[in-house]
Each structure stands twice: as C-alpha cells, then as structure tokens.
Amino acid sequence: MANTEAPSRNTHDESHTYAEVTKQPLNNADSNFTEIETIPPIQANGKPLSKSGTTTPSDTFEGTGQDISSHSPSRRQFAHKRQGSIPKQNGPKKARNNNDDHVVFEELGTNGGKLTSVKPSNEYERQLHQDKKEEKPSDGPELVSGRQAGQGWARSKIRFAPLNVPLQRRLQTLIVLMHTLSIVGLVALFFLLCTIPLLWPILLPYLIYVLFSKAATSGELLQRSDRARRLSIWSLFASYFPARLHRLEELPPTRKYIFGYHPHGIISHGAFAAFATEALGFSQLFPGITNSLLTLDSNFRLPLYREYALRLGLASVSRESCENLLTKGGPNKEGMGRAITVVIGGARESLEAMPNTMKLVLARRKGFVKIAIRTGADLVPVIGFGENDLYDQFDANIHPWVHKLQLLVKKIAGFTIPLFHARGVFNYDVGMMPYRRPLNIVVGRPVKVMAQEKPDPEYVDQVHDQYVTELKNMWEDWKDTFAKGRTGDLEIVD
C-alpha cells in the first residue's frame, strides 16, 4: 500500500508537528484494519500549516501564541466554511476503501477533535466465526476430553485472607480465637498434663478441689482480679468486631442492679467484652459498681477453665449465686454497689440467633424478676445490637427436624448445640470464628424494684411488664442507629 509523503518538519524548531496521513495498516500481521487521520499539520505556536508548509492567517484560529506545548485544535478551528456545493450531512461521515470493504467512520468529538473508528469487513467477521466454531472432522476417531483440572478452585466461593494483613488485625484474630476455644483448649491441656505421671500427685487433689469448690456460688469474688480484667489483650478482643458500650443514664453506686443482656447470640461475645473485661470502659461509665457476668454452673467444674473464668469475675448463674452476689460485699457488706449480668434468653435463645433479627425468649422468663424483688435490685435492660449477626446457623424453618433435635438435647442435657458457622482464621467464609461485624451494647434505664421477701405474683408480672416495655422502647429508639440492616422488628417468641 503506497504511503503519501508528509510535509517536512522545520529543522530549526524541535517542537512537535502533526503530519497528515491518509491510510496506514494498523499492524503488519493483519491489514484488514485501516486507520486514517484527518487533523491538519500544526506548528508549535498553534498555527496550522497548509500542505505547502505555509502558515494560515492567525485570525482563523484561537489560542495562538499562548504556550509552546502541543494542543489539540480547538473546535473553532474547524468552523470555517466549506467550499463547493456538497450539502452538509448530519451524523458521522462514512468513507469506503476502494481495495476492500472496510468502512471508516469519523465523528466530531466533544472537545473539537475527531474520533475515528473502523468497522471490519463482513468477510473478516465470518472468518472469526469459523475460527471459534470449527466443524468436526468427518472422518477419524472422535476425541473425548476429561474434566479440566483447577476449574473447581477458580469457581470457589471461599475468599482467603491476603498475606499482607496488618499485625494488629492478626493479633485481634488470635485473641478471639483463643477465647472462642478456651473451654476446649484448657480442658485438653489438663488431660495432656494427666499423661505425665510426675504431675499426678498435684492433679488428683486439684481435680477433687474443682468438683467440690463453692467459689463460683459463694458471692465473695475472692479470685477476681482487676489486673486480669484490664489486660491489653481484651482491647484487641473488643476491637476485632469492633465493640462499643453505651449508657443512657448514670447508675448511682448506692443501689444494686441486675443487667439483663439481650440477645444471647451464639457465644455472647458482646456480654463478655462489656461485662467480663474493662476493654469497653465499664468502670468509667458506671463508677463504684462491681459487676459479675454469670454463666452455667457446669463451666466451673471444668479444670483450668474455671480458673480463667474466676479471674475475670465470672460466677454461676444459679439462684444461690445470684442472691449471694447481691447480698454480700460492697461498702455496707449487704451488696450495695454490686451488680450481676444475666443473659436472660439462655441456650434456648441461641437457637433463634439469626442475622438481622431480634427474637427474644422472654415472655415466660420471670426468675430474674423474682431474684430482683428478693434482693431489692433494680432491673437494667441491655441490648447487644449486632450480637446475632456474628454467626450464621441452620434456619429452623428450612430444617425443622434439626431444630426439634436441638430442643430435645436442651431438654435432656440442659444445654443445646447450635449448628453455626462464620469465618475462619485464614478465610472469610468458612469456620467457627465470628464475623467482623460491629457490636453496640446499649445499657438502658433502670426499672425500680421494691424488695419483698416473698415476691407477690402480681407484682412480679407488673415488674416484668415494665421491664419488657423499657426494652421495647430502647429498641425503637436505637434500631435505626445500630440495626439498619434488620429484616424485622423485635419479637418475643416465648
């Protein structure tokens, strides 16, 4: 293909000029595409050159002499009147190459330049179609291929964590993993120590002590350690989600309190961060109040784990433990300034822990109200917004037989095992680690309670109704702030 000769550059001026090219192949391998350029040659001072190399009058164009940088011609440069009697056509200009069927389109750009594109010929399109779909050979054996290795990994929905995760986030994951596996890990460590005969004289008396100890129910909190509650590792634990503790009003330390935490969730990470550690600043928000998070009494029969729990101030959720904690200690030695935190829904409520929902097992839960009346403790509702979002589990509506089996285990053993999953240590989709989703623990206003040695059933119902009303008011006030992705409102199911 013959190339037309471009006008020569000015050898004394090394600034950029643009040559007119009528037609060039895009590459040497395929000459099916052609490219055209219609911009006239321009000197660095902004004045166009004619084909003979002379400068056109300066009053025809804008911007001449402003700077020496190369600019595209302004829109006004192409506003001169055309010569001849060819009528003006609207839309893109269309030109055809005589040697082939390629059609060249030119359109005026928004900045005054010209956009050039090429439409391949029909023969080229047919050739591409034949290359993609080759006909089977009419003779010879048919070639059958097996599965392509690695396709399953490419379609995998598991998202793995990158290697360049910051150290702080790695430490957060490590602390949450240690707490999540604390029961299994510490009990396994005890049995590992039992394999060493030299330790038997120590382990056997310790095991007897664990079985008969009353430290979790005495209410004296002798093994509670404020230093253990203030360890910096708990700050890493709380910042994993992250978690925040909020209060609606101050609580005077001259009273005693029962904090009712809702919902239970799967493992109640929010209750642990807010009431078993100082990571969220409980003592700063509620100065003068000594709080104890309550858990199952059976947890204090597990060797080594009970020491871990007692150091953090945890206690048994039995009636004896609750009454002892609220009637002993404090400045007056009668429980003033003491508080306990009870996860009201218990294991039964953990089966209702579905993301973006708030289903509470509360309608027939009145034992905590009776304890509050016996001890004269005020009831303080607490909502852990985001607690149910930390794990996914089997939906009872989709798998009803699984739900019935879980209820049967709860009835026989006193506890249940939710079938849940969340993320892993090195991935974001499969594992038993909780999701990194925000937790906001809101402490509501106290419901005043008058002490009665033998609670009147009518008064119990009255206080219970006041507590439920305050809980619902908290939900209505803060659901738009902390539960924006909810799929329903607060629901009391049992």
Mean pLDDT in the chain?
79
Structure tokens at 183: 């029961």
For residues 213 and 47, what is the distance between their CA atoms, to the nearest angstrom?
Answer: 99
Of the chain, the percentage scoring pLDDT greater than 70 comes to: 70
Q: What is the pLDDT of residue 384?
A: 96
Place of tokens 């002379």: 54
Interval 120-137: pLDDT, tens: 566 656 665 655 555 555
DSSP H helices in 296-413: 305-311, 319-327, 346-350, 367-375, 400-413
> pTM for the whole thing?
0.68
Tell which phi-psi region holds residue 136, choosing left (phi > 0), alpha (psi between -120 and 50) or beta: beta
| List of E strands, 248-377 | 257-262, 290-295, 315-316, 338-343, 359-360
Residue 49: is its pLDDT beyond 80?
no
Average pLDDT for 202-209: 95
Residue 393: pLDDT band (50, 70, 90) is confident
d(CA 351, CA 395): 9
Region 46-60 average pLDDT: 46
